[in-house]
Structure 1
C-alpha cells in the first residue's frame, strides 16, 4: 500500500504547486496627450503636462457592460440633474484665466470634465460642427499649413452629410469628438435617451470611419452633475471651453480685426477655444491667430 500511496501523494503535491499563483507577481490591470502691432498676449508659464486618457476607448458593447457595472453609474439617480449652462464668464485672475473655469474645473474635474487645462504653455483649438457652411475645408487647409491639430465635435447629421470631411479630419491627425446624435440638451432627456445619444453616434463613427471617439462636448454647453457622471462611465472626457465668442450666426459675423483682437486679448495659459466652423470670420483670421499665439510662446496642441 505504501508503494501505491507514494506516487499519488507526489503527484498531488506537484499539481498543487503548479496551480498556485506567484505571490510576488502583480496581477492587476495596467490601464492605458506682421500681427504684433495690434495683438497683446500674456506670456505662458510653465506647469504640469497635459492630461491624457487613462484607458483604451471602449466598444459599444463594452460601454453597455461598463454602464451597468461601474459604481458611479449606480449612483446616478442620487446625483443632481439640475441643468447648468456653461459660459466662461468675464472675471479673470492675474494670468488672464477665467475664474469661472478654474472654479468649475476644481468642482467637476473628478468626472473627467475639462474647462481649462493645467498646462499653461498650451492652447487648444476645438471646433463645433453642427452643419457644414462651406468653410471646414479651408479651416483644415490652414491647420495643415500651420501644422496644428484640432478637435472637431460632430453630430450624426454632420457625419452623414459630410463623410469626406470627417475622413479628412481623421486622415490629417485631428481628433473627432462626439457632439451627440441629435444635439439635445442632455439634462432634459432621460438617462437612457442620453446614453443612446452618445452610443448611437459612437457606433456610427466607429462603423463608418473605423474611428473610436473619446472626447465629448455637451450641446449648447448644458450639462448636469448626473450627465457628467454618465459620460465618464462611458469612458468619455467632457470637453468644455475657457473662451468662446458670438461666432455661430453666419448672418451676424464680426469684422475680422475685431474678432482677431478678441481671440488674442482673451488668450491665456491652458486655454480651450470653442470656435464654430460655420463662421466666415473665423476661417479668415485663423492663421493670424495661430501666428500671434505662437509669437508669445504658446504651443498649439491637440487636446486628447
Structure 2
C-alpha cells in the first residue's frame, strides 16, 4: 500500500478513533528514571496542558545523558503486566517533558527533525510504521546512534478496532521484527494508530514486551494547520509531565520541520528537560 493512500484515511477515521482513544485512555504516569508506574487522575486526550509559569531554569543543566544498558538485544521479550489504559504522561519531576514523532521514518522529513534534535542535544521517541522502515533502515540506525527511542506503531497504520486479533498480532509482530533488524533491539513501547486502543492491543503488546504509550498534547500537525499553529500548540501546551505528539511522515510534514526549529529552543530556554524512557535490561 502506498503511504499517500494509507494516510488519506486519517481524516476520515480521526473523529471516530479519537472517541475510541479517549474512552480507552486514562491517567498513568511513567517516570523517566525507572521509578514505578503510578495511577493518576484521568485526563482528556489529546488536550493541551497549561503553559508552565515557573521562572525559566538554566537549560544547560537539563541536557540529556547517554542511555544505559547498551547490551545485545534479548532473544525473547520480557512479558509485562497487561494494562487496560495507555500511559499518557511522564514524571513531572525536574520539569520533564517528552517529544514523540509518529508514522515515519520518511526520508524527506525525518532527517531534518533528527538534525534539529542533534543540534540542540535532545533525544526523542519515534513510533515507526514497519512498511516505512523497509526502505529507510538507515534512519533507524541513525536514531540508535543518536540515542533516540524507537517504538512500534504497527506495519500499515490501521485502525486496530476494525481488525481481528490475528491481524493485530501480525501488524505488531512484523514491525517489532523489522525494528530489531534496523535499530538493533526490539521495541519496548507501542502506540496504537489514531490513539484507538482495544483489549487485544494491550494484551499483545504486553506479550511482546511493549508498554502502551499515548500522548498529552497533539500538535495537530497531521492536519497541516500552519507552522504558527503548531508552534502555538506546543508552547501553549508545555507543562511538566507532558508528552508531545508530532509526525515525521504520513503527509506533507514541512510545517513540522519548520515549527520544531522554533519551539524546541523555546522549551529549552524555559528550562524543560526533554527526556526519553530508560531501557529495561
Common fold, TM-score beyond 0.5?
yes
Query: For residues 224 and 138 of structure 1, what CA distance do their matches in structure 2 show?
Result: 34
In structure 2, which of residues 185, 206, 216 is the aligned counterpart of residue 211 of structure 1?
Answer: 185
Query: For residues 123 and 285 of structure 1, what CA distance do their matches in structure 2 show?
Result: 17
Matches within 5 A, 1:169-248: 169-248=143-222
How far has the Cα of 1:164 moved from its partner? 1.7
Match of 1:42 in 2: 52
Match of 2:246 in 1: 275
Which stretches of structure 1, 4 residues or longer, exceed 3 Å deviation after superposition? Answer: 56-59
Cα distance change, pair 132–207 in 1 and its aligned pair in 2 (3 A): closer
* Contact 2:104-2:132 within 8 A present in 1 as well: yes
* 2:109 is equivalent to residue 138 of structure 1: no
How far has the Cα of 1:44 moved from its partner? 6.0
* Contact 1:149-1:302 within 8 A present in 2 as well: yes
Cα distance change, pair 195–294 in 1 and its aligned pair in 2 (3 A): same
In structure 1, which of residues 101, 104, 117 is the aligned counterpart of residue 90 of structure 2?
Answer: 117
The two structures have a TM-score, normalised by structure 1, of 0.62
Query: For residues 212 and 219 of structure 1, what CA distance do their matches in structure 2 show?
Result: 19
Cα distance change, pair 248–133 in 1 and its aligned pair in 2 (3 A): farther
SS at match of 1:127: strand
Cα distance change, pair 57–187 in 1 and its aligned pair in 2 (3 A): farther
How far has the Cα of 1:156 moved from its partner? 1.4
Query: For residues 71 and 215 of structure 1, what CA distance do their matches in structure 2 show?
Result: 13
Cα distance change, pair 156–170 in 1 and its aligned pair in 2 (3 A): same
Query: For residues 116 and 163 of structure 1, what CA distance do their matches in structure 2 show?
Result: 29
* 2:152 is equivalent to residue 164 of structure 1: no
Query: For residues 248 and 178 of structure 2, what CA distance do their matches in structure 1 show?
Result: 22
* Contact 1:131-1:157 within 8 A present in 2 as well: no
* Contact 1:253-1:280 within 8 A present in 2 as well: no
The two structures have a TM-score, normalised by structure 2, of 0.66
Match of 1:264 in 2: 235
1:47-76 Cα offsets, whole Å, 9 max, x none, are xxxxx99xx9764xx45x95xxx896xxxx
Query: For residues 160 and 240 of structure 2, what CA distance do their matches in structure 1 show?
Result: 29
Query: For residues 147 and 174 of structure 1, what CA distance do their matches in structure 2 show?
Result: 11
Higher share in helix: 1
Query: For residues 258 and 194 of structure 1, what CA distance do their matches in structure 2 show?
Result: 34
Query: For residues 53 and 270 of structure 2, what CA distance do their matches in structure 1 show?
Result: 6
Query: For residues 269 and 200 of structure 1, what CA distance do their matches in structure 2 show?
Result: 35
- Structure 1 spans left out of the alignment, 5+ residues: 1-32, 34-39, 46-51, 73-109
Structure with greater Cα Rg: 1
